[in-house]
């Protein structure tokens, strides 16, 4: 009897409290048409208030969820990025400003108070929050009388950031969109707004689309095709097929691919806070490698032109060969620095597998060449053989003076033979 009575009272009290909440808090709700997130906003009516209350519910498999205010573009928006905190059970809310089509940058100009009900539970992330100093920022403001205020939203690709850092590094969005809200409908007494299951009156979505940006993966693919695939292949073409012509064609192609890849990399670098200073190891080494590669291309080209004129090896070829021996491994090593920078460090294992495969493919050729060179060293010493001189200095006489007419191909390893 007692229990029954108290539950009636508690229930009545609950409804009573709810009734008060309903009658006193106006809010507007938005539901993204792709179902990725829902958002509700309350603009406290008190004059002079600089506060906003909002609620955001979304798919917790996304590495981040975000909304922004002020514009139909990222530019000039005040955004709020929500991601899992270190415990994985609650959220980190990072207010960020955007000046461009690039990763928003943390601002400490606004104050977020995370409120009860906030959690990461199963597949759902829920945020209830109050934001202070939130109605004006560099680039925009919230006008409670605006009947078509612009807002944006976006979701990150799947993953968990699990960090308390307000400046956490993130990947670019998986989907993004734009919506409008009649803010006059969300003006009311201060309080956490309710998430709705469909758009409230005065709320409409203008855009909701998947982000199909491939510039970063394409950058990685082109570089790997060039440095792990084509460039070593070009060495084989010269050494095994003995074809300087196809070596040149192949290396021109790999040079062009790597150049396109470099421009893609430069453009990707402008998008993230961690890379827009262009001072990470990957970017610095990358720029050096690309400059060396341009040098390598020019050297190879000039060497070949001089060779065609004289039908004799040139002074440039040792530089070409040694620069090539530095550039290709440096480019490959730089790939291992690129994946962690793109927040996909596990791809380093795939790259490692490719490099091991390359070594396995190259080993028999190296062995074959080693055997052949030993043979040649025994027989060729005195013979003059014509052909393409890829390593003329190997045959230099002790005077250090290159006598072009004495050059042999294939090279022999006498006392001055290099590398042994």
Ligand X SMILES: *[C@@H]1O[C@H](CO)[C@@H](O)[C@H](O)[C@H]1NC(C)=O
Contact footprint for ligand X (CB under 6 A) = 18, 22, 24-26, 45, 47, 89-90, 97, 107, 109, 114-116, 118-119, 122-123, 133, 136-138, 185, 188-189, 194
Q: Does 195 participate in binding ligand HEM (rule CB under 6 A)?
A: no
Q: Does 104 participate in binding ligand HEM (rule CB under 6 A)?
A: yes
Q: Does 140 participate in binding ligand HEM (rule CB under 6 A)?
A: no
Longest Cα pair distance anywhere in the chain, in angstroms?
A: 116
For ligand HEM, the closer CB: 94 or 128: 94
- Round to whole Å and give the CA distance between 322 and 271: 35
Task: Answer with the entry of ligand HEM, ligand X, none that 185 interacts with (C-beta below 5 to 8 A by kind).
Answer: ligand X
- Dihedral (CA of 51, 56, 61, 67) sign: negative
Neighbouring-strand partners of residue 188: 44
Q: What are phi and psi of 30, to 5 degrees?
A: -125, 140
For ligand X, the closer CB: 191 or 410: 191
Rounded alpha-carbon distances, angstroms, from residue 47 to 138, 188, 267, 410, 419? 22, 11, 45, 89, 82
Task: Answer with the entry of ligand X, ligand HEM, none that 81 interacts with (C-beta below 5 to 8 A by kind).
Answer: ligand HEM
Q: Does 154 participate in binding ligand HEM (rule CB under 6 A)?
A: yes
Rounded alpha-carbon distances, angstroms, from residue 166 to 80, 94, 155, 170, 277? 11, 5, 17, 11, 19
For ligand HEM, the closer CB: 69 or 407: 69
Neighbouring residues of 359: CB distance < 8 A, sequence distance ≥ 6: none
Rounded alpha-carbon distances, angstroms, from residue 280 to 252, 317, 332? 28, 33, 16
The pair of three-digit structure tokens given for residue 7, joined into one six-digit string: 């539950």
Q: Which of 90, 102, 105, 243 binds ligand HEM (CB under 6 A)?
A: 102
Instruction: Select from 102-110, 244-252, 367-375, 404-412 the region that touches ligand HEM (CB under 6 A).
Output: 102-110
- Round to whole Å and give the CA distance between 342 and 353: 19
Task: Answer with the entry of ligand X, ligand HEM, none that 266 interacts with (C-beta below 5 to 8 A by kind).
Answer: none
Q: Does 172 participate in binding ligand HEM (rule CB under 6 A)?
A: yes
Task: Answer with the entry of ligand X, ligand HEM, none that 173 interacts with (C-beta below 5 to 8 A by kind).
Answer: ligand HEM
Task: Answer with the entry of ligand HEM, ligand X, none that 102 interacts with (C-beta below 5 to 8 A by kind).
Answer: ligand HEM
Neighbouring residues of 314: CB distance < 8 A, sequence distance ≥ 6: 302, 303, 306, 307, 392
Q: What number of chain residues touch ligand HEM (CB under 6 A)? A: 22
- Round to whole Å and give the CA distance between 275 and 279: 7
Q: Does 271 participate in binding ligand HEM (rule CB under 6 A)?
A: yes
For ligand X, the closer CB: 61 or 384: 61
Q: What is the nearest approach in angstroms of ligand HEM to the Cβ of residue 98?
A: 7
Q: What is the nearest approach in angstroms of ligand HEM to the Cβ of residue 136?
A: 18
Task: Answer with the entry of ligand X, ligand HEM, none that 53 interacts with (C-beta below 5 to 8 A by kind).
Answer: none
DSSP H helical ranges for 240-280: 244-269
Q: Are 52 and 43 in contact (CB under 8 A)?
A: yes
Q: Which residues of the shown chain bind ligand HEM in the complex (CB under 6 A)?
A: 66-68, 73-74, 79, 81, 101-104, 152-154, 170, 172-173, 176-178, 271-272
């Amino acid at each position: 009897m007692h229990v029954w009575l108290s539950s009636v009272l508690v229930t009545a009290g609950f409804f009573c409290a709810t009734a008060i909440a309903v009658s006193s808090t106006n809010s507007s709700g938005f539901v993204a048409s792709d179902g990725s997130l829902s958002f509700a906003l309350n603009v406290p009516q008190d004059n002079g208030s600089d506060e906003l209350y909002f609620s955001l519910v979304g798919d917790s498999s996304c590495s981040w969820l975000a909304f922004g205010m002020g514009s139909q573009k990222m530019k000039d928006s005040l955004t709020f990025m929500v991601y899992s905190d270190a415990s994985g059970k609650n959220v980190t809310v990072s207010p960020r400003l955007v000046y461009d089509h690039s990763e928003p940058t943390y601002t400490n100009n606004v104050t977020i108070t995370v409120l009860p009900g906030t959690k990461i539970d199963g597949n759902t992330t829920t945020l209830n929050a109050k934001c202070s100093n939130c109605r004006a920022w560099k680039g925009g403001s919230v006008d409670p009388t605006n009947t078509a205020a612009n807002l944006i939203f976006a979701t990150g690709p799947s993953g968990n950031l699990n960090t308390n850092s307000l400046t956490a590094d993130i990947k670019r969005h998986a989907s993004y969109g734009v919506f409008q809200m009649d803010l006059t409908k969300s003006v009311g007494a201060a309080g956490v707004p309710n998430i709705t299951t469909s758009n409230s009156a005065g709320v409409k979505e203008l855009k909701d689309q998947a982000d199909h940006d491939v510039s970063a993966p394409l950058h990685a693919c082109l570089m790997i095709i060039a440095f792990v695939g084509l460039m070593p292949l070009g060495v084989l073409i010269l050494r095994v097929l003995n074809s300087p012509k196809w070596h040149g064609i192949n290396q021109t192609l790999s040079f062009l691919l790597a150049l396109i890849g470099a421009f893609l990399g430069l453009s990707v670098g402008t998008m993230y806070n961690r890379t827009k200073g262009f001072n990470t190891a990957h970017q610095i080494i990358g720029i050096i490698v690309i400059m060396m590669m341009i040098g390598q291309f020019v050297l190879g080209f000039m060497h070949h032109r001089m060779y065609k004129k004289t039908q004799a090896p040139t002074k440039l070829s040792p530089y070409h060969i040694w620069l090539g021996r530095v550039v290709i491994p440096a480019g490959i090593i730089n790939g291992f620095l690129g994946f962690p920078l793109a927040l996909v460090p596990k791809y380093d294992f795939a790259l490692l597998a490719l490099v091991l495969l390359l070594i396995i493919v190259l080993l028999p050729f190296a062995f074959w060449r080693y055997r052949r060179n030993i043979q040649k060293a025994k027989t060729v010493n005195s013979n003059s053989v014509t052909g393409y001189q890829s390593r003329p200095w190997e045959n230099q006489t002790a005077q250090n003076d290159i006598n072009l007419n004495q050059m042999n191909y294939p090279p022999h390893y006498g006392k001055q033979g290099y590398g042994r």
